[in-house]
Chains A and B, each alone.
Chain A
Amino acid sequence: MLRTSRGPRIAPERTWAVIDPSILRGEQPIYAGTKIPHPIPSILGLPDELRDSEDVMQVNFGPNHPSTHGVLRLVVDLLGEEIVGLRAVIGYLHTGFEKNMEAKTWWKAITYPARIDYLSFQANELVFVLAIEKLLGLEPPPKATWMRTLLCELNRLHSHLVWLGTSALEIGAISMFWYCFRERDQILDLSELVTGARMHTRYFQAGGLADDIPRGFYDECRKFTDWMPKAVDDYEGLIDRNAIWLERTRGIGVLSAEDAVALGQSGPILRASGVDWDLRKRDPYLAYGEVDFDVPVYTHGDVYDRYRVHMEEMRQSTRIVAQCLDRLEDMQGEPWIADDRKVVLPPREELHTSMESLIHHFKIVTEGYRVPEGEVYVVIESPRGENGCYVVSDGGPRPWRVKFRAPSFVATPAAATLCRGALVADLIAIVGSLDTVMGEVDR
């Protein structure tokens, strides 16, 4: 007997009345001058005159290709060196995180989000924890808020460094990779110092942090923030005025501001297209309203401007980390997690002396805490942009539905717009500049 009971297969029927035929069938674009392909925005279709051409060669780029940042397959139609058709195929890394989280208690489900986007693990962890806290109405103490801000910015640096290293490597700047990973390793060391894990830390809990900030962290982190601006100068010294780098990035993969908004792009991609949009400034969460930083905006929308935005953001993130350190150093001895025994694990040492603490500990670990019924959509600015988490609770100890709005999932189909008229060598630069993480695309 088959162990799965599969439902009947439902074909997408197309028998209903068509409501707005001309636009929905793609006979006309949404607005004049758009470069978004239609009728299918995510597929650059082969032009009619080339459909039967024998000069067009179809090439499978991936799924196993080192520069796809995971397992992405692009079906590319080439006319000579020019890209005339492009279609992205995803799903190779689909692991069913959302379904799995529905079967875990809230407490255990916090483990999952970090693994969805393995480069900005801290940001993903944060968005899920913020969603739980919003449903619970739980307010974390200030120390936790500042530490979360600090770790999220360190994480942004980590993500940008991996992006810079790998996408420069793909365009041929091999030495960038070593320098970027040198600083990345320092960040992972800091992460290990605080949380005990280099990646996938599970340091954020509903209500605050898992543990106090260890002694010695402030000094080590201060050393890093002193060093980091020099490192960014070094990176720029290597490639910023490098003729090959400029040649391969300037004017490549141009995305206009209107197209970027219509395609739902966010983060560095949107800011490189001239849209001044950063949730940390526009709708401050955590402690972002109290720190001083700038949002870099560039206007050309090409690969080079996306690179510029990333570089500037690294500088700004370092500034934020330094300011968080200033505040945190005055908060030593303050609580790091909310005092709510129904949600938060009791202090370890109490378990040996207090019966109530033992019961609470047992209940939270075995049954989990219950989250009031409701649905929330929480959005933060992750390194890749608008990172949303939609959570539904039925009042029980498990999430009813968890959905992540992954910025990479939205960025990947934009490749069809960006590659219009590009050459095959630009494809690597363009896909790289979108900064997609396939774990997040496929979830």
Chain B
Amino acid sequence: MVEPGELLETCRRLRDEEGFNFLSDITATDYLGWQTGPEGVAGYYGTHTGRDLNAPGSWGLAALPDAKPKRFSVSYHLLKLVDGAPRLRVQVWVDDGEAVPSVVGIWPTADWHEREAWDMMGIPFEGHPNLVRILMDDDWEGHPLRKDYPLGGEPVRFSEEE
């Protein structure tokens, strides 16, 4: 786990000195509603604390999961191209709207991974040369993989309310 400010330096050191020259993946995860239950989280009526697993229809947890430092995590999965395939996960924690420095200058493959993380989770990558939506339409609103983004229902065009 590293601070956003130290990310570039850490990554550069890992690539040049430790030999992790292969960036496998960048994943952003939204931890909204982690530990606290289902309020306002679409499709998540499951993870409430006070429920009993043995009661019919409950989805309760036996124990609370460990708290997370901030809302979003960005995980960089690195790989060293040697026998045994050693892997390393570098994790950065940010709040909504907080930026993460872009690693495109270190691993060019990060280009689309970061665009996807921006599109799906709304994490801005500072210094990315082309941070635009990749999977959704250019004029899409919201970031679909966030936990507060509803699971079902699409806005109806030309409906009375619009």
Question: What residues make up the interface of A, taking CB atoms closer than 8 Å to B?
Answer: 1-7, 9-10, 12-14, 16, 18-20, 23-26, 30, 36, 38-43, 90-91, 94, 96, 98-100, 102-103, 261-264, 275, 277, 279, 282-283, 367, 370, 373, 375, 377, 379, 386, 388, 390, 392, 394-398, 400-401, 403, 405, 409-410, 412-413, 442-443
Residues of B within 8 A of A413 (CB): 109, 111-112
Residues of A within 8 A of B5 (CB): 19
Residues of B within 8 A of A24 (CB): 102, 104-105, 127, 129
CB within 8 A of A12: which of B21, B24, B118? B118
9 contacts between A and B (CB under 8 A): A2-B156, A3-B155, A7-B142, A7-B146, A20-B127, A36-B108, A39-B129, A262-B109, A394-B65
Residues of B within 8 A of A42 (CB): 111-112, 130
CB within 8 A of B22: which of A13, A41, A261, A396? A261
B65–A379 touching, CB < 8 Å: no
Task: Give complex CA distance A275, B81 in Å.
Answer: 9
The answer to whether residues A99 and B142 also contact, given A36-B108, A91-B134, A388-B24 and a CB cut-off of 8 A, is: no
Question: What residues make up the interface of B, taking CB atoms closer than 8 Å to A?
Answer: 5, 8, 21-25, 27, 29-31, 34-35, 43-44, 46-47, 53, 59, 61-63, 65-66, 75, 77, 79, 81-85, 87, 89, 97, 99, 101-102, 104-109, 111-112, 116, 118, 120, 122, 124-131, 133-137, 141-146, 148-156, 159, 161-162
Residues of B within 8 A of A264 (CB): 22-24, 107, 109
How many interface contacts (CB-CB < 8 Å) are there between A and B?
A: 198
Residues of A within 8 A of B134 (CB): 90-91
B43–A390 touching, CB < 8 Å: no
CB within 8 A of B25: which of A275, A367, A377, A395? A377
Among B34, B46, B108, which residue has the most Cβ atoms of chain A within 10 A?
B108
Residues of B within 8 A of A12 (CB): 118, 124-125, 128, 131
Residues of A within 8 A of B44 (CB): 103, 398
Task: Give complex CA distance A388, B22 in Å.
Answer: 13
B25–A90 touching, CB < 8 Å: no
Among A25, A38, A98, A400, which residue has the most Cβ atoms of chain B within 10 A?
A400
Q: How far is the CB of A88 from chain B (nearest CB, A)?
A: 9
Beyond A42-B112, A405-B24, 11 extra complex contacts between A and B, CB < 8 Å: A9-B141, A12-B125, A41-B104, A98-B145, A103-B43, A373-B65, A386-B24, A388-B25, A396-B46, A397-B59, A409-B116
Would you call the interface of chain A mostly helix, strand, loop, or mixed? loop
B59–A367 touching, CB < 8 Å: yes
A394–B129 touching, CB < 8 Å: no
B135–A442 touching, CB < 8 Å: yes
Residues of A within 8 A of B106 (CB): 23, 30
Shortest 6 CB-CB contacts between residues of A and residues of B? A264-B109, A41-B108, A283-B85, A3-B153, A405-B25, A23-B105
The answer to whether residues A103 and B101 also contact, given A394-B34, A396-B47, A405-B25 and a CB cut-off of 8 A, is: no
B108–A263 touching, CB < 8 Å: yes
Residues of A within 8 A of B29 (CB): 392, 400-401, 403
Residues of B within 8 A of A100 (CB): 151
Residues of A within 8 A of B89 (CB): 377
